[in-house]
């Protein structure tokens, strides 16, 4: 629902803990995020 004069935003942080050996679901997730076809996801992370 749009409300004139109101802009809602939410900042989402994605961090990767690389100290431990990754589990298969973690590997699949980060492979998906960093796939060339999903470059728009990484650009979203850089947006103000």
User: Could you tell me the pTM of the whole model?
Assistant: 0.48
Residue 22: how many other CB atoms lie within 10 Å: 13
**CA nearest 32: which of 6, 9, 13, 14?**
14
**CA nearest 32: which of 42, 20, 22?**
42
Domain count, the chain: 1
Q: What is the pLDDT of residue 6?
A: 93
The domain of 25 spans 1-48
- What would the pLDDT profile of 1-48 be if each residue is shown by its tens digit? 789 999 888 887 877 777 777 788 888 988 888 898 988 887 877 766
Q: What is the pLDDT of residue 48?
A: 67
Q: What is the pLDDT of residue 46?
A: 77
CB 31 within 8 Å of CB 38: no
Q: Torsion over CA of 23, 29, 31 and 32, rounded to 10 degrees?
A: 160
């Amino acid at each position: 629902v749009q409300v004139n004069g109101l802009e809602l935003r939410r900042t989402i942080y994605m961090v990767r803990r690389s100290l431990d050996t990754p589990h298969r679901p973690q590997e699949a997730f980060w492979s998906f995020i960093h796939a060339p076809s999903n470059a728009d996801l990484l650009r979203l992370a850089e947006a103000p």
